[in-house]
């Protein structure tokens, strides 16, 4: 019989195995949804994320005549948005998936930011044009993607001890502060949805789902001279004043002296748009409930934010699914939202008192829509549903959490 290894050697081998398993450069296989998402939506060789056809509420994109439109891009569901790249970067960080993180970052920087995120905010839409050329289709920025990119870089720099990533995130903050922050008269600093097209006359169009308070609280710590603390302070006020019936709206407009009013998606309006649709709370607004639910309970703004958007919790006390749309008068539609909507409201419902039954109902709905073959959710397994589910289930299962001040906590492998 072989003799056992000397104890010192056994200990050294054990420590080596533990190090190799837990090092950030190794794949974390303990998050099945992330593995399924990566297989379906990420080109593993390049780091490009396929995010499906642009949905109403991202940004409008123009054809060669310059007229804004929504709907499928010329290359169908193979196009890429800066939002998709930003979310994938965050999920890779939360999964301790350093190889994917590096590939997604490299593709984003090379293809959307002229090779340098420190000096160029990323273009929001990339794909194949009608002539078959792969290129940037719309060079405008989308600030929700920009802040998630900056946050993921800053936290990767801290968690993985990579000063270059931390510094790149701080450089992005400087660009965001310069190009995507405006001081609203009578209100204060606020993040614009992008660097152009959202200020017209004395009115400013804003998107509440672009404002996870914990991101700005984290930015205030790493860049105390920036506008981030003031923006974080203003976010609860914006929700209190714009969610007038307790439901969040996709888009709102601020007019000095007149406050906030719901407006239609800017992608569907413009000069001469006499038949613009009515304002709604839908595919964008659903993220506000998600952000509220994953905010740390120790956050000083946590309770105020939740109390500003209680109507969804009240609705789900008597309904089996979130509505796909809510009117600007606070009237939910009869059409239930897609499965990602259920995922988004689970942390929110768990944060509310007396909503545990509603949270359980949404959890059951989400679980019942999981495809056992693909590991994804919903019959069509859309990109957006999976992103909402990744945020929700990643938080609910402890893959990541947020400390007071927005610092990211990642589950040890």
Q: How far is CA 249 from CA 245, 260, 297, in A?
A: 10, 11, 24
* Structural domain includes residue 5: no
**What digits encode the pLDDT tens for the residues 96-134?**
999 999 999 999 999 999 999 999 999 999 999 999 999
Mean local confidence (pLDDT), 277-293: 97
* Phi-psi region at 114: left, alpha or beta (left = phi > 0; alpha = psi -120 to 50): left
Is residue 16 over pLDDT 50?
Answer: no
More confident residue, 69 or 276: 276
Q: Are residues 250 and 383 in the same domain?
A: yes
What pLDDT band is residue 204 in, cutting at 50, 70 and 90? very high
* Domain total in the chain: 2
* Structural domain includes residue 169: yes
* Structural domain includes residue 18: no
Domain boundary among 179, 214, 242: 179
Active-site hit among 75, 83, 146, 385: 83
> Could you tell me how many residues make up the chain?
413
What pLDDT band is residue 296 in, cutting at 50, 70 and 90? very high
Does 83 qualify as catalytic in the annotation? yes
Q: Are residues 158 and 200 in the same domain?
A: no
For strands 259-263 and 251-255, give the pairing. antiparallel
pLDDT above 90 coverage of the chain, percent: 81
* Structural domain includes residue 361: yes
Mean local confidence (pLDDT), 54-68: 33
Is residue 273 over pLDDT 60?
Answer: no
Q: Are residues 157 and 298 in the same domain?
A: no
Q: Are residues 161 and 306 in the same domain?
A: no
What pLDDT band is residue 270 in, cutting at 50, 70 and 90? low
Identify which of 102, 194, 87 has the alpha carbon closest to the alpha carbon of residue 149.
Answer: 87
Q: What is the pLDDT of residue 413?
A: 59
Q: Are residues 185 and 315 in the same domain?
A: yes
* Structural domain includes residue 73: yes
- Residues 323, 332 contacting (CB under 8 angstroms): yes
SS3 state at 413: coil
Q: Are residues 73 and 139 in the same domain?
A: yes
Q: Are residues 190 and 170 in the same domain?
A: no
CATH code for position 234: 1.50.10.10
* Structural domain includes residue 147: yes
**What digits encode the pLDDT tens for the residues 128-177?**
999 999 999 999 999 999 999 999 999 999 999 999 999 999 999 999 99
Q: Are residues 148 and 217 in the same domain?
A: no
Q: CB under 8 Å to 400, separation ≥6 — which residues?
A: 94, 394, 408, 409, 410, 411
Domain boundary among 159, 179, 199: 179
The sign one gets for the Cα dihedral 178, 184, 188, 192 is: negative
**7-16, 44-53, 157-166, 230-239: which has the minimum mean pLDDT?**
7-16
- Residues 388, 366 contacting (CB under 8 angstroms): no
- Phi first, then psi: give them for residue 25, nearest 5 degrees: -80, -5
- Residues 227, 175 contacting (CB under 8 angstroms): no
Strand ranges (DSSP E) for 39-146?
A: 61-62, 68-69, 80-81, 125-128, 134-138
Q: Are residues 168 and 242 in the same domain?
A: no
Q: What is the pLDDT of residue 60?
A: 35
Which helix (H) or strand (E) is 85 found in, with range?
helix 82-94
Mean local confidence (pLDDT), 55-72: 32
Is residue 72 over pLDDT 70?
Answer: no
Active-site hit among 75, 97, 144, 253: 144
* Structural domain includes residue 15: no
Is residue 4 over pLDDT 70?
Answer: no
Is residue 77 over pLDDT 80?
Answer: no
Does 131 qualify as catalytic in the annotation? no
User: Average pLDDT over the chain, rounded to whole?
Assistant: 88
Q: Are residues 164 and 187 in the same domain?
A: no
Instruction: Give the domain range for residue 115.
Output: 25-179
**2-6, 203-207, 267-271, 363-367: which has the minimum mean pLDDT?**
2-6
* Structural domain includes residue 412: no
- Rounded CA-CA distance 103/96 in Å is 14
Q: Are residues 77 and 210 in the same domain?
A: no
Q: Are residues 192 and 159 in the same domain?
A: no
- Residues 411, 399 contacting (CB under 8 angstroms): yes
Domain boundary among 179, 198, 226: 179
What pLDDT band is residue 267 in, cutting at 50, 70 and 90? confident
Q: At what angle do helices 98-112 and 143-159 cross, to 10 degrees?
A: 140
Is residue 63 over pLDDT 80?
Answer: no
- Rounded CA-CA distance 348/49 in Å is 27
């Amino acid at each position: 019989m072989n003799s056992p290894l000397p104890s010192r050697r056994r200990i050294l081998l054990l420590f080596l195995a533990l190090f190799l398993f837990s090092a950030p450069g190794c794949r974390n296989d303990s998050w099945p949804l992330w593995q399924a998402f990566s297989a379906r939506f990420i080109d593993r060789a390049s780091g490009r994320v396929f995010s499906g056809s642009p949905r109403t509420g991202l940004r409008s994109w123009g054809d060669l005549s310059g007229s804004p439109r929504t709907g499928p891009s010329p290359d169908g569901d193979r196009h890429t948005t800066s939002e998709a790249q930003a979310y994938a970067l965050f999920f890779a960080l939360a999964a301790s998936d350093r190889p994917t993180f590096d590939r997604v970052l490299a593709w984003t920087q090379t293809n959307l930011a002229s090779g340098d995120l420190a000096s160029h905010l990323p273009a929001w839409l990339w794909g194949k044009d009608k002539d078959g050329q792969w290129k940037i289709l719309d060079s405008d920025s989308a600030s929700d993607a920009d802040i998630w990119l900056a946050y993921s870089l800053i936290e990767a720099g801290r968690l993985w001890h990579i000063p270059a990533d931390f510094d790149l995130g701080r450089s992005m903050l400087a660009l965001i502060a310069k190009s995507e922050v405006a001081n609203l008269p009578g209100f204060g600093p606020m993040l614009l949805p992008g660097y152009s097209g959202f200020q017209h006359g004395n009115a400013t169009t804003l998107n509440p789902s672009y404002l996870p308070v914990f991101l700005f609280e984290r930015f205030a710590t790493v860049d105390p001279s920036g506008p981030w603390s003031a923006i974080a302070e203003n976010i609860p006020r914006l929700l209190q004043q714009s969610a007038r019936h307790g439901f969040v709206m996709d888009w709102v407009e601020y007019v000095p002296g007149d406050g906030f009013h719901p407006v239609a998606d800017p992608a569907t309006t413009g000069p001469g748009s006499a038949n613009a649709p009515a304002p709604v709370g839908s595919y964008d607004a659903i993220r506000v409930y998600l952000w509220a639910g994953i905010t740390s309970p120790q956050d000083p703004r946590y309770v105020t934010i939740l109390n500003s958007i209680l109507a969804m919790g009240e609705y789900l006390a008597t309904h089996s699914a979130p509505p796909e749309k809510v009117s600007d008068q606070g009237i939910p539609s009869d059409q239930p939202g897609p499965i990602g909507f259920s995922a988004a409201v689970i942390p929110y419902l768990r944060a509310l008192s007396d909503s545990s039954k509603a949270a359980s109902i949404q959890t059951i709905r989400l679980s019942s829509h999981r495809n056992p073959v693909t590991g994804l959710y919903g019959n069509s397994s859309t990109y957006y549903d999976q992103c909402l589910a990744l945020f929700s289930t990643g938080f609910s299962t402890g893959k990541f959490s947020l400390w007071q001040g927005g610092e990211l906590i990642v589950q040890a492998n």
